[in-house]
Amino acid sequence: MIAFLWERLGVERDAAMGVLRQAIAAAMRAKTDESPGIKSKMDDVAPVKRDLIGEITKMRRAGRTDVSDTVVSVNSLPPVSEPRYAVA
């Protein structure tokens, strides 16, 4: 789903992944979803969840999920002093 969003926005994959990594790192540094900063951001996302995701048809599947070839890697990210991108 994110790949389709990036494609429609005309965002290059590596640049988009960089921005996503920065956002995840910032959220992890905040350490709690109860902080005022994160709560205000989640309030901005609520209409998307309600209006967009709530209307998507649920897809049913059968059988188990095979995760036998799953690889998990953890990378450390340098702290970001200033955001590189501004969202209007």
The pLDDT tens digits of the residues spanning 37-87 come to 777 777 777 776 777 677 777 778 788 888 888 888 888 877 777 766 666
C-alpha 32/C-alpha 64 separation (Å) is 33
The pLDDT tens digits of the residues spanning 19-35 come to 888 887 777 777 665 66
State the pLDDT at residue 75.
81
Would you put residue 35 in left (φ > 0), alpha (ψ -120 to 50) or beta? beta
Cα distances (angstroms) measured from residue 66 to each of 3, 58, 59, 62, 69: 23, 21, 18, 12, 8
